[in-house]
Structure 1
Amino acid sequence: MKVLHVAQPVSGGVAAVVADLARDQRERGWEPVVACPREGRLRSQITGLGVPVADWEATRGPGPGTAREVASLRRIIAERRPDVVHLHGSKAGLAGRLAVRGRIPTVFQPHLWSFESDASLAGRLAVVWERAAARWTGLFLCVSADEARDGAGSGIRGRMVVVPNGVDVTGLVPVDIARAKAEAGFGPGPTVVCVGRLAPLKGQDLLLDAWPEVTAAVPGARLALVGDGPLEAELRAHTTAADDSVLWLGHQDAPHRYLAAADVVAVPSRAEGMALVPLEAMAMGRSVVAYDVGGIRESLGDTGAVLPPADVPALARAIITRLDDAQLRDDEGTRARQRAETLFDRRRMAAQVAELMEELVSDG
C-alpha cells in the first residue's frame, strides 16, 4: 500500500500523529511518504524513521500562494502515485482535495476543524468549503467524538469515523517525581507544568491570569512553560521581571521529562481536537487540570479536573486543590495511567487507521 501523508502544520500534535502513522505503516511493509514543508520539526522526525519526504512548501493559512501549493501537490501525487492520500490539518485538507478531487481515495484528518478556532469571516467561509469538499472526501478521520459532532453539526456530510489519538504508553511510564524534578533542573517544591505552542488557542494567558492566586495560596509554587511561539513576548508581559515563579523553558526536544517532573499538568486550551499533552501526562501518571474543550472530557474521564472553558478562577482552584493534596494527585495519576493504557495506546490508533485505509482502498 502506497500512502501519501500531506501535513501542514509540521509541529506539535499533528507532527507526532503523522510520525506515528508513518512508522506503523513502514513496519507493515507499506510505502508511506510524507509531503511537508522543509522547515519544521516533522521533517527531521520522518527522515529519522527512514520514511521518504517530498518537499511541499505551504503556509499554515490560505492565501495568494494556495494555487501554487495545489499545483505543487498535484505534481507530487503524479510522481508518487499513491493508493491513498491522507491529509492532515485544514491547509493540507484544502490543497489536497483541490489537487485530488476524489480521483484517489482520500482521508481528511482535521486535527481540529479550522472553523472551531476562528470566529471571523474566514472561519465562516471554512464551513462552506468543508461542506463542498465533502464530495471529494472518502473518509473524515476525527480524533475525538467532539470533533465528529462539531463537523456533523456544521452541516458537513460524509463518513466520519472517530479514532482517538494515541501515545507511546510503553515509553511514557510513571517515574519517581523527586528524581524527575532534579533531572529537569527544578527544585523540590510544588510544580505546575504547561507544554504547548505559545499561541492564542493554547491559553497560556489564562493560566498566567490564574497564577497569582495559586502562588498566594501555595507559597513556593513554580510554573514551567514549555514551548515557543508567536505570543511569547505578549505572554511574558503577564509577569514581572522580579517574578521568578514562572520558568520560560522554550522549545524542548524532550518535553516528557518536564511532564514527569510535574505535580500538576495544566492544559488551558481554548480549543482542541484531542490534545496529546494530556494523554502523555496520563501515561506518566500525572494529575491533569484542563478546560472542557474538544476531546478533553473524552481523554480524562474521571481521572482529572475538567473545567468550564476559560474559567480562570476555576483553573486556579483546581491547581491549588491538587498542589495541597498529594493523595488526590496520586489517585488521579494511578487512574490516568490505567486509562491511557486501556484507551490511548498509539499502536491501537495506528492499527485502526490501517484497517480503515485498507477498507477505503478496497471499496474504491
Structure 2
Amino acid sequence: MTRRVLQVLGSSAGGVARHVAQVAAALAGAGDQVVVAGPSALAETVAPSAGGARFAAVEIADRPHASDLRAVSRLARLARDADAVHAHGLRAGALTVLAVRGRPGRRPRVVVTLHNLPVGGRAVRAVSAVLGRVVARGADVVLGVSGDLVALSRSQGARVAERALVPAPARPAPSRGTGETRAALGLASTDELVVTVARLAPQKGLDTLVRAASAAARTRPALRWVVAGDGPLRDQVEAAVRAASAPVTLLGRREDVADLLAAADVVASTAVWEGQPIAVQEALALGSAVVATDAGGTREVTGDAAVLVPVGDAEALGAAVAAVLADASRRDTLRQAARDRAARLPQLPDVLAQLETHYRG
C-alpha cells in the first residue's frame, strides 16, 4: 500500500534542505507519496532534487513570528491524510507537533529530527527549552544528529530518542587534477594547502580558524589556508584576517568543493558545534587528512580517522595542522584511515531502513 509522507522543514542555510530533498527523493523512488513543506525561499533548493515529491510552501520563520499560527493551520491541512509526518529542526518540529496533536481522531506518526544545538543568549535558550519540551513530549520519535542532542531530548521527556543518520548528499567527483586546482588558486609548488568548507557563521568557529592559521604559519611559512563558503560573518572574518595578517583566503561560495578537498594537504574544521558534518564526511570519502575540533557529533563521524583538538583551542589546532603538514607519513596514514572510515559511515539505504521503522511504528 502506498504510504503518504509529509516532510517539514523551516529556514535552512542549505544543509538541512539538501538532506530533506535527498530523503524525499528516496522515499518517492520507493513508491511513497511525498510532500515537502517549507518556506517558499527553499523551493529552488529542494524541489529540483526531491524527485517525485511535491513541494508545498509553508512560511516557517527562524524565530517566533505572527505567521506561526498560519503555519500551524497550513501544516494541519497538509497532514490531514498523511500516514507519517517528519519534521526537521526545532521550530519546524514544535509547529508540526502543535498542528498534528491538536486535531481529534486518527493522526499520523510524528518524527522530528533535531539538526542543531540551540545556541544564543538567555532568552534564546529559554525559548529553545520550551520548544524542546514540546517536541520531546509530542513526537512519537525524536532523532538527533549527535549524541548530545539525543541526550537533551531524553532529558526533556522524549519517549523514543536515537541518533539520526545523515549521510552526505552525493557530490560530483573531482573534475580537475590536484596540480590544476592548486594552480587555479595561485599556489606555488612548495605551498602547503589547508582547506576549510564552512558557512561563514558563528557556529563554524571562524575566530579560531584565523588564530589557528596564524599559529601554524609560525612554523609552516608556506601555509595557505582557504575557506570555501559564504555567510553573514564574511566582513568580520575578512577584517580579522587583515588584522592578524593571517595566511587565510576567503573563496566565497564554490561549486568545485570536491576539487578543493582532493587537492588539500589538510582539511580542517574549526566548528564550535556540529551534528554529522557534511564537509567532514565528504573529506573522508575523498581520503583527506582531517584535523578538526572535537565539536558535537564530529567524533561520531570521524572515529579515529582524524586528529581532534578541543573546541576553541586555536593554538592546539594550529599545532595539529602544522604537525600533519610536517609529516608526510602521518598524512598518508590519515588518508587511508579516512577512506576506511568513509566506507563504514551510514548510507542512504541505512537512512531509509531507520525511517521505515519509525514511520510504521
Q: Decide which of 248, 254, 257 is 1:255's aligned counterpart.
A: 257
AA in 1 matched with 2:70:
R
CA-CA distance at 1:281 after TM superposition: 0.6
| Stretch moving more, 313-322 or 240-249 | 240-249
CA-CA distance at 1:242 after TM superposition: 10
Distance 1:73-1:185 versus aligned 2 partners, 3 A rule: farther
> What SS does structure 2 have at the residue aligned with 1:107?
strand
CA-CA distance at 1:182 after TM superposition: 4.3
Distance 1:286-1:169 versus aligned 2 partners, 3 A rule: farther
- Structure 2 Cα separation of the partners of residues 201 and 242 of structure 1: 21
CA-CA distance at 1:237 after TM superposition: 0.9
Q: For 1:290-324, what per-residue CA distance to the aligned partner results, in whole angstroms no more than 9, with x for missing partners?
A: 11121111111111111111111111111111111
AA in 2 matched with 1:149:
A
Residue of structure 2 in register with 1:349 after alignment: 350
TM-score, normalising length: structure 1: 0.88
| Stretch moving more, 69-78 or 238-247 | 238-247
- Structure 2 Cα separation of the partners of residues 257 and 342 of structure 1: 23
> What SS does structure 2 have at the residue aligned with 1:237?
helix
- Structure 1 Cα separation of the partners of residues 101 and 316 of structure 2: 46
Residue of structure 2 in register with 1:96 after alignment: 96
Q: Decide which of 280, 290, 294 is 2:292's aligned counterpart.
A: 290
Contact 1:221–1:245 at 8 Å: present in 2 too?
Answer: yes
Percent identity over the alignment is 32
Distance 1:156-1:202 versus aligned 2 partners, 3 A rule: farther
Asked whether 1:319 is paired with 2:316, we answer no
Distance 1:331-1:73 versus aligned 2 partners, 3 A rule: same
Distance 1:35-1:352 versus aligned 2 partners, 3 A rule: same
Q: Any residues of structure 2 matched to 1:128-143 within 5 Å, and which?
A: 128-143=130-145
Residue of structure 1 in register with 2:206 after alignment: 204
CA-CA distance at 1:331 after TM superposition: 1.1
- Structure 2 Cα separation of the partners of residues 106 and 162 of structure 1: 16
Contact 1:47–1:53 at 8 Å: present in 2 too?
Answer: no
Contact 1:165–1:349 at 8 Å: present in 2 too?
Answer: no
Asked whether 1:339 is paired with 2:338, we answer no
Residue of structure 1 in register with 2:307 after alignment: 305
- Structure 2 Cα separation of the partners of residues 223 and 334 of structure 1: 23
- Structure 1 Cα separation of the partners of residues 66 and 289 of structure 2: 45
> Which segments of 5 or more consecutive residues in structure 1 lack a partner in the other structure?
none
TM-score, normalising length: structure 2: 0.88
Contact 2:18–2:169 at 8 Å: present in 1 too?
Answer: no
Q: For 1:203-229, what per-residue CA distance to the aligned partner results, in whole angstroms no more than 9, with x for missing partners?
A: 112101221122222112111111111
> What SS does structure 2 have at the residue aligned with 1:34?
strand
AA in 2 matched with 1:112:
N
| Stretch moving more, 245-254 or 226-235 | 245-254
AA in 1 matched with 2:114:
P
AA in 2 matched with 1:104:
P
Q: Any residues of structure 2 matched to 1:59-138 within 5 Å, and which?
A: 59-78=61-80, 81-101=81-101, 103-114=107-118, 117-138=119-140
CA-CA distance at 1:16 after TM superposition: 2.5
- Structure 2 Cα separation of the partners of residues 123 and 155 of structure 1: 14
AA in 1 matched with 2:167:
G
Q: For 1:234-255, what per-residue CA distance to the aligned partner results, in whole angstroms no more than 9, with x for missing partners?
A: 1111122995832221122442
- Structure 1 Cα separation of the partners of residues 34 and 221 of structure 2: 51
- Structure 1 Cα separation of the partners of residues 184 and 359 of structure 2: 44
- Structure 2 Cα separation of the partners of residues 242 and 301 of structure 1: 33
Distance 1:359-1:69 versus aligned 2 partners, 3 A rule: closer
| Stretch moving more, 82-91 or 350-359 | 350-359
| Stretch moving more, 174-183 or 316-325 | 174-183
Asked whether 1:158 is paired with 2:163, we answer no
CA-CA distance at 1:348 after TM superposition: 3.6
> What SS does structure 2 have at the residue aligned with 1:64?
coil
- Structure 2 Cα separation of the partners of residues 17 and 64 of structure 1: 28
Q: For 1:77-120, what per-residue CA distance to the aligned partner results, in whole angstroms no more than 9, with x for missing partners?
A: 34xx2211110111211221121127321110011232xx2352
- Structure 1 Cα separation of the partners of residues 310 and 246 of structure 2: 29
Contact 1:322–1:329 at 8 Å: present in 2 too?
Answer: yes
CA-CA distance at 1:24 after TM superposition: 1.4
Contact 2:194–2:223 at 8 Å: present in 1 too?
Answer: yes
| Stretch moving more, 65-74 or 310-319 | 65-74
> What SS does structure 2 have at the residue aligned with 1:39?
helix
Q: Any residues of structure 2 matched to 1:164-175 within 5 Å, and which?
A: 164-167=165-168
Pairwise CA RMSD of aligned residues? 2.6
Contact 2:174–2:258 at 8 Å: present in 1 too?
Answer: no
- Structure 1 Cα separation of the partners of residues 197 and 165 of structure 2: 20
Q: Choose between structure 1 and 2 for higher RCO, CA contacts under 8 A separated by at least 6 residues.
A: 1
AA in 2 matched with 1:73:
L
Contact 1:224–1:246 at 8 Å: present in 2 too?
Answer: yes
Distance 1:236-1:130 versus aligned 2 partners, 3 A rule: same
CA-CA distance at 1:179 after TM superposition: 4.7
> Which segments of 5 or more consecutive residues in structure 2 lack a partner in the other structure?
none
Q: Following superposition, which runs of at least 4 residues in structure 1 exceed 6 angstroms of deviation?
A: none
